[in-house]
Amino acid sequence: MASKSTLAQRISMKMKICLVGEPAVGKTSLVRRFVFNTFDPKYFSTIGTNIWKKKLQLTHPLNDSTLDVDMIVWDIMGQKQFRDLLRDAYFFGAKGVIVVCDSGRRETFDKLVHWVEAVTEITGDIPQYLIANKVDLGSVSFEEKEMKKMAGTYDCPYQMTSAKTGEFVEEIFLNLATRIVQKRYDDAQAGLDEAEKTLESSPEDIDSLYIKGEALVILERYDEAIAILHEVTRLDTDYPDVWGLKAEVFSKLGDEKMAALCSVRA
Ligand code: G3D
Ligand code: MG
């Protein structure tokens, strides 16, 4: 079986984030700066949705080891083509959002509210970041206190950036990723607490057992997770998703034989 330290090194996480905002505010330029560290003023058309990928290394909130993150960045085309059908697909599975305006164009700042609300309607409460881009142009069309107030209303941070100079670009993506990771563990802990509360009075509540198992997997308490998941299959061998989850845990524990056996039943 793999030792704890090799296990910790193998922990990785995928996260999808989306950029939204009015056309030409600099969404594509920001991603380009972050992913390739370049600013190409000739790069202008975003046709459909660009999907970019960047590998990040963050500090693991559970144990200070390195957490490998695959950040998948969705960067959508102009608003006109932003049809309802596409909108749902665009946000599906998103774990965080960067909402961008052009600091020099007031109308794009006024539209931030619309974007934050449209996103939240679909994704629910996920980490967001309000961005006023193009500060290098030096003509900010709103007062900072207005942006601060807006950020306060939605309980999310804000930042002035320049995709051209690179100012604060890396910081916003890393900050968002860190908040997404933290939320994942916080949500798992909250789910675990809730499930344990129910299990105190109904120890065989199968949904709570499964939720507890799932939370323990996220919290990387694999031995405890397996014990709970065994309990789920004892109560109902066909409980949805349980075999797939067991396979995942055995694989994390380095027991490929058991992982394969569970996969067959998934
Ligand atoms: P979008 O993806 O939001 O539609 P783009 O926006 O990234 O395509 O950028 C729109 C225009 O703004 C581009 O100019 C781009 O070069 C410029 N731009 C983006 N970010 C910045 C910035 O931080 N500073 C400055 N000065 N310009 C920026 P063109 O002329 O190619 O349309
Ligand atoms: Mg674009």
Segment 200-221, tens digit of pLDDT = 999 999 999 999 999 999 999 9
Percent of the chain scoring above 70 in pLDDT: 89
Atom of ligand 1 nearest to the CA of 29: 7
* CA nearest neighbour of 84 among 122, 112, 116, 133: 122
pLDDT, tens only, 227-237? 999 999 999 99
The CATH number corresponding to 202-265 among 1.25.40.10, 1.10.3720.10, 3.30.565.10, 1.10.10.2520 equals 1.25.40.10
12-181 sits in which CATH class?
A: alpha beta
202 C-alpha to ligand 2 centroid (Å): 52
Q: What is the pLDDT of residue 10?
A: 55
Listing DSSP states for 43-98 in one string gives -----SEEEEEEEEEEE-TTTSSEEEEEEEEEEE--GGG--HHHHHHHHTTEEEEE
The ligand minimizing its distance to the Cα of 166 is: 1
The pLDDT of 102-129, averaged and rounded, is 94
Whether the per-residue pLDDT at 9 is higher than 90: the answer is: no
Where are the domains positioned within the chain? 12-181, 202-265
Q: Which residue's CA is the nearest one to ligand 1's atom 30?
A: 41
User: pTM for this one?
Assistant: 0.89
3-class DSSP state of 174: helix
On the question of a common fold for 12-181 and 202-265, the answer reads no
The pLDDT of 22-29, averaged and rounded, is 92
Q: Which residue has the tokens 């930042």?
A: 159
d(CA 171, CA 1): 38
Q: How many CA atoms lie within 13 A of 208 on its CB side?
A: 14
Q: Report the pocket of ligand 1 as residue ranges, CB < 6 Å.
A: 23-29, 41, 44, 46, 133-134, 136-137, 162-164
155 C-alpha to ligand 2 centroid (Å): 26
For 135, the token pair is 């500060």
Banded pLDDT at 25 (limits 50, 70, 90): very high
Give the count of beta carbons closer than 10 Å to the beta carbon of residue 75. Answer: 23
CB neighbours of 258 closer than 8 A, spacing ≥ 6? 246, 250
More confident residue, 46 or 152: 152
